[in-house]
With several copies, the nearest count.
Chain A
């Protein structure tokens, strides 16, 4: 039972209006080949969950943004891509700004079946607007909901054919949390290995979270 498919085949699972989580912090850990593949798919009105929205010059998700395929972005830092800023200022992109740790934890909650959680992060700030607030042990917390993307596009260092994953250095970042949160998880692996090649103690994302594996090469 191998989960290895072509990039084209994997991306047929993305539909108009889907919410897509895309791994990476900047371009490190971003599944660039899947994103490039997505730019060739006729999909629209996507909501993207990603820490950033590509980098200047149309790199990464910037390419999809330029194609007007993204209607909403959920993430923590869009200022690093001036194009994203421009689209937002022109009203062409709805933005839901989420503190980076809250973004990671909302994804983690989505993957782990948590219905919501309380965090001190952002309590008393503009980003708490409209959110339930609660005093716990004398400190103010706000309620945050889980994020469950329709599809996650993930970058891994190695995948085995079952879909067990390991990552490389700080390219790990949001990838494990997104892989666990999404209904369908598509992995771009730099290398695909046979089952048994990964040490059971070192697997970061076990295969039950993964639906498709594509060969991304280096």
Chain B
């Protein structure tokens, strides 16, 4: 299993029976594959479908059923279609239980930056700001550091933020952090080759360590 799949698998554990879930592009998309089959989970895509099913076989693609990443998907039994204002009414109105999305940066106060890079012309935001402001629980799935090894989990974001203080859970290939009562808390270590010191070294954000810290069983 790759790092991304590992993160997605851990994120899937956060989903409860009956949840309405919106999955972003990238790692979050992979989460769908790891939702236990005994749970009824309903995937929402903000372009107007509740009840997203798996990717179709090439010969079964319906060009008018796409997800927010503009990729072909399917609609499960019990699904419904609706307009953009209806769809974002669901999001803004707190009817989405869990939104899982990626991030460029996450700050210790729960700020998230995932839409713009300083110095570049800002030309795309999509539904990210609506989702993080509206979903009941925002989970960020991301690799712990950038491709160049730079930290992404910071005391404060230096990229333009998507919303203030909305992240509830942050899942990387190494660790799970919870955000609660204005505190960032290390809850789990997901990589048994990593020590607390090693995680601290790549995580400039200030966080406490949970008294019930979980370590991956070898």
Interface residues of A (CB under 8 A from B): 1, 25-26, 28-29, 51, 76-80, 84-85, 88-89, 95, 97-105, 107-108, 110-114, 119-127, 140, 160, 162, 164, 167-177, 180, 195-196, 200-201, 203-204, 206-209
Contacts and interface: CB of A to CB of B under 8 A. Distances in A.
Contacts of A175: 83
A124 B164 contact: yes
A109 B36 CA distance: 35
B85 interface: yes
A124 B161 contact: yes
A73 to B, nearest CB: 9
A170 B125 contact: no
Interface of B: 17-18, 20, 40, 42, 44-51, 62-66, 70, 75, 77-85, 87-96, 116, 121-130, 133-134, 160-164
**Which 9 pairs across A and B sit closest by C-beta, in order of nearness?**
A101-B88, A113-B92, A101-B130, A112-B89, A79-B124, A104-B84, A1-B40, A203-B80, A113-B93
A207 B78 contact: yes
A127 B129 contact: yes
Given A97-B124, A121-B130, A162 B46 contact: no
A98 B88 CA distance: 13
A95 B125 CA distance: 12
Given A99-B129, A105-B85, A105-B88, A169 B64 contact: yes
B45 to A, nearest CB: 8
B71 to A, nearest CB: 10
A141 B129 CA distance: 13
Contact of B70 (A25, A79, A102, A107): A25
- Counting chain A CB atoms within 10 Å of each CB, the highest count among B40, B75, B126 belongs to B126
Nearest to A108: B85
- Counting chain B CB atoms within 10 Å of each CB, the highest count among A1, A107, A113 belongs to A113
Contacts of A208: 20, 42, 44, 50, 90, 95-96
B123 A88 contact: yes
Contact of A77 (B96, B121, B124): B124
A79 B51 CA distance: 27
